Amino acid sequence: MEVERVALSFDETTDKELFWKDKLLFYDGLGSHKYVRFRLVREYPKDYITFDVLRKHGLHGNIEGVMQCKNQELLDFLQRDGIDMTSTSSVKSDNSSLAEDSEYTEGEVREVVQTLYERNRDARNACIAAKGYKCAVCGMDFEKTYGEIGKGFIHIHHVVPISSIGREYKIDPVTDLVPVCPNCHNMLHRKDSPYTIEELKSMLNRN
């Protein structure tokens, strides 16, 4: 995808309900968020971008939501026109909306500054030791659900987001951290001041 515009108001969005599976979440978020408009640049066959294939070409860790790709090896792989290394299908570019006389330029150098907040792995481990690997909201247990590949997998939610503090601080693994599954983790952060575990549990039970 290519970002066309950022910080759109709700009134500037299109297809307002079309892609929302949960209409209640859609209505709850009206007017409370800024939106981004994307343009489809390229479409890949599913078997071209499996985790196994992406990891062979430089992906580290897991993809969680929309992320910017900064790994040059992976970018080179994804940007190879018409080459499919994993199946008989081929990568196709979406040029249907491009005018024949359009001119495009590339290569502009931009400096991107990003603020990263370090997570303490020992604090994560202490949280898991105290509370286990089961999601505190929905009860999801990845090892029970997926077997061996799910063993030891869980997200750790910060009750108070690190980014809202903006400085180094002491953390209590029992009171400040909570194990949650990726779905619930995303839902907790559906607003700038995250929902509490109890609030999200209530929504889950209500629905």
What is the sign of the dihedral through the CA atoms of 76, 79, 83 and 88? positive
What tokens does 174 get?
């029992």
Residue 127 CB-density burial (10 A; 0-12 exposed, 13-18 middle, 19+ buried): buried
Residues forming a β-bridge with 3: 38
pLDDT at residue 133 greater than cutoff 90: yes
Task: For residue range 61-99, list pLDDT tens digits in order.
Answer: 766 666 777 888 888 887 776 544 433 333 444 444 445
Q: How far is CA 201 from CA 51, 127, 136, in A?
A: 31, 20, 9
Mean pLDDT of the chain: 75
Task: Tell me the C-alpha distance between 120 and 112, whole Å.
Answer: 25
Q: Rounded to 5 degrees, what are φ and ψ at 6?
A: -125, 165
* Cβ atoms 197, 179 nearer than 8 A: no
* Cβ atoms 133, 139 nearer than 8 A: no
pTM score = 0.44
Task: Tell me the C-alpha distance between 8 and 33, whole Å.
Answer: 9
Task: Tell me the C-alpha distance between 49 and 43, whole Å.
Answer: 10
pLDDT at residue 132 greater than cutoff 50: yes
